[in-house]
């Protein structure tokens, strides 16, 4: 049995902690994955995982083998890319990205990328949680609002920065009134974003040198900004969402700015010379200037003066 194949299988087993999930990701049967694991443990003479009815637990030897597998396979991929004839972009790339950002900004870019490189395949995973590049079998992680890990083993490419804005529907504002200051939000129905099992319980706004922090007491919470936008459109309350989702809603307090959120594409350092990784990163960055430009604060519209007919007219 091919050792490299066993290594790739083991990385998926370690990443998912479940033989069934690993088999599904690899397109194999559970029996085939189990046989590979058993053969690998027999060949190494160690127990890599301990089995229970629900989940597999990685042993200390298993963790060390996992790191070796990741390093060896990354080196093999880099070596293949280095000696491949010509600069053709080929192979498979797994991208993990936040669901809302991927649906709005990345799906079309992936379409154009695949049209330009027929030998390339892409798996785009919509995931709002942090991932383990090695254990989860991810080549590139797109993450927003997280400081890139301070590690010489990783490379982070800045893609774009944007801000979140307060939005509500005209119907909600007619019924509940329009806030004139961030402190006015305490009397409104707020729609809060959750991420990685934590809720954004405080919103921060700045205008010039003045900064205000608002405690968020929300009855509706969601991990998807797309759902928050839909709730706001239905009149359920006021949401704080990325500016690129706010087109169909009233933007409130436009002169009060939220902290910028930076989006990075992160991959392992060994992948820098791989043509497929470089091509995907370039595609992910394409068009981000338009996204960043759209996040600049806009001055509120001045009310139109309606002049009635004067005397003698």
pLDDT at 304: 42
The ranges assigned to domains in the chain are 1-83, 86-159+262-297, 164-259
> Domain 86-159+262-297, what architecture?
3-Layer(aba) Sandwich (3.40)
pLDDT tier for residue 288 given thresholds of 50, 70 and 90: low
Among the residue ranges 19-28, 217-226, 248-257, the one predicted with the least confidence is 19-28
Asked if domains 86-159+262-297 and 164-259 share a fold, the reply is: yes
CATH number of 164-259: 3.40.190.290
Evaluate if residue 50 carries a pLDDT over 80. yes
Average per-residue pLDDT for the chain? 84
Cα-trace Rg, the chain: 25
pLDDT tens digits along 87-108: 678 888 999 999 999 999 999 9
CATH 1.10.10.10 fits 1-83, yes or no: yes
Evaluate if residue 83 carries a pLDDT over 90. no
Q: How many CA atoms lie within 13 A of 306 on its CB side?
A: 1
Closest CA to 133 of 174, 76, 73: 73
Residues of the chain with pLDDT > 90, as a percent, come to 44
pLDDT tens digits along 225-265: 999 999 999 999 999 999 999 988 999 999 999 999 999 99
Run of H or E residues at 262: strand 261-268
Q: Between 175 and 201, name the one with better pLDDT.
A: 175
pTM: 0.69
pLDDT at 89: 84
pLDDT at 141: 94
> How many CB atoms lie under 10 A from the CB of residue 38?
11
């Amino acid at each position: 049995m091919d050792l490299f194949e066993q290594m790739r299988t083991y990385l998926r087993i370690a990443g998912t902690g479940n033989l069934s999930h690993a088999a599904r990701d690899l397109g194999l049967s559970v029996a085939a994955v189990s046989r590979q694991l058993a053969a690998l443990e027999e060949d190494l003479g160690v127990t890599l995982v301990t089995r229970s009815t629900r989940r597999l637990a990685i042993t200390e030897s298993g963790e060390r083998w996992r790191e070796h597998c990741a390093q060896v396979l990354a080196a093999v991929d880099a070596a293949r890319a280095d000696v491949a004839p010509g600069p053709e972009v080929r192979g498979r790339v797994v991208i993990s990205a936040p669901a809302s950002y991927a649906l709005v900004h990345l799906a079309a870019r992936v379409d154009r990328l695949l049209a330009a490189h027929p030998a390339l395949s892409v798996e785009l995973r919509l995931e709002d949680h942090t991932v383990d590049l090695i254990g989860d079998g991810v080549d590139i992680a797109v993450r927003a609002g997280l400081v890139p890990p301070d590690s010489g083993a990783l490379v982070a490419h800045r893609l774009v920065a944007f801000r979140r804005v307060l939005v509500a529907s005209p119907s909600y504002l007619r019924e509940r009134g329009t806030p004139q200051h961030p402190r006015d939000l305490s009397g409104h129905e707020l729609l809060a974003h959750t991420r990685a099992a934590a809720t954004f319980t405080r919103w921060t706004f700045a205008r010039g040198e003045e900064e205000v922090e608002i405690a968020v007491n929300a009855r509706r919470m969601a991990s998807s900004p797309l759902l928050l936008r839909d709730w706001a459109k239905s009149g359920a309350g006021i949401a704080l969402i990325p500016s690129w989702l706010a087109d169909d809603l009233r933007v409130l307090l436009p002169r009060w700015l939220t902290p910028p959120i930076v989006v990075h594409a992160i991959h392992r350092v060994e992948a820098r010379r791989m043509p497929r990784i470089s091509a995907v990163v370039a595609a992910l960055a394409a068009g981000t200037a338009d996204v960043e430009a759209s996040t600049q604060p806009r001055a509120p519209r001045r009310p139109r003066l309606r002049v009635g007919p004067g005397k003698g007219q």
